[in-house]
Amino acid sequence: MLELHQFRHSAFCLKVRMTLHAKDLSFREVEVTPGLGQLSVFRMSGQRQVPVLVDGDQVFADSSAICRYLETLRPEPALLPSDPLQRAQVELIEDWADTTLAASTRAALLQAAADDGQLRLALLPDDLPAPLRQVMSGVPGGWLSTLGDLLGQEQRASMLSSLTALAEGLDQNGYLVGNKLTLADLAVAAQLSLLRFPSSSGDALAGRGVPGLSDHPRLQSLFHWRDQLEAQLNQRDPAATE
């Protein structure tokens, strides 16, 4: 059984879960506790970030590397087109989503969480002991803004402009590249989760997100697309996740 070591609310981990669902692969989720839990991730994979996928004695880190392993493990349905130009387009969009878009959505979420204690609480791991939860909920959020850059005006405008262009492209056939689901769709859909959490994030987070972006009129069709994509993938094999 494949094992996915993850932070439940990480967009990179969602990208891998969506890929596993798209390929109808069964897997077990192992929730990693930020900080201490990353020691075992390091021991296992030689680096401390999640997602990490374990398949028997093989260990893979990095969502893009994991998705490529899954593509060889289960080639159908192919998430990387065989047409060279389309494949290049998918890889470019995936890379943009995992870097530029991810940096912007992370900064936007950090900013929102710094301002909103309820959101901070909802983002904590479900299995965090109650006393620690209580302590965390009482801590002012200002320290979060030291964790990374806050979203600048220019970065926000550039993200909105790219996402609007993607939304307009999607209106035509429902996929970002060609007329089939690819890793480009999954990488973008996953990063959108930090702006507006999907239903798979659980009741505390579903529909919530970054004020001003989660409810932005130009992004609504994109969130709707993401929700439909997720519903379609989860329907494929509801029993896939143990």
Residue 40 within binding range of ligand GSH, rule CB under 6 A: no
x-marked contacts with ligand GSH along 79-118 as a string, rule CB under 6 A: -------------------x--------------------
- Smallest distance from ligand GSH to CB 48, Å: 5
Amino acid at 106: R
Return the range that interacts with ligand GSH (CB under 6 A); candidates 49-57, 107-115, 139-147, 210-218: 49-57
The pairs formed by 207-213 with CB atoms below 8 angstroms and a separation of 24 or more are 208/119, 208/122, 209/109, 209/112, 210/108, 210/109, 210/111, 210/112, 211/112, 213/108, 213/160
- Smallest distance from ligand GSH to CB 172, Å: 28
For residue 82, the 8-state DSSP code is S
Q: How many residues bind ligand GSH (CB under 6 A)?
A: 12
- Smallest distance from ligand GSH to CB 32, Å: 8
Tokens found for residue 77: 């349905």
Provide the b/e sequence for 44-68 (b: ≥16 CB within 10 Å).
ebeebbbbbbbbeeeebbbbbebbb
Q: To 10 degrees, what angle do helices 11-22 and 220-236 make?
A: 50
- Smallest distance from ligand GSH to CB 217, Å: 28
Return the range that interacts with ligand GSH (CB under 6 A); candidates 7-15, 126-134, 137-145, 212-220: 7-15
Between CA 201 and CA 237 the distance in angstroms is: 18
Among 51, 81, 198, 209, binds ligand GSH (CB under 6 A): 51
Residue 185 within binding range of ligand GSH, rule CB under 6 A: no
Residues at the contact surface with ligand GSH, assessed by CB under 6 A: 7, 10, 12, 38, 48-51, 62-64, 98
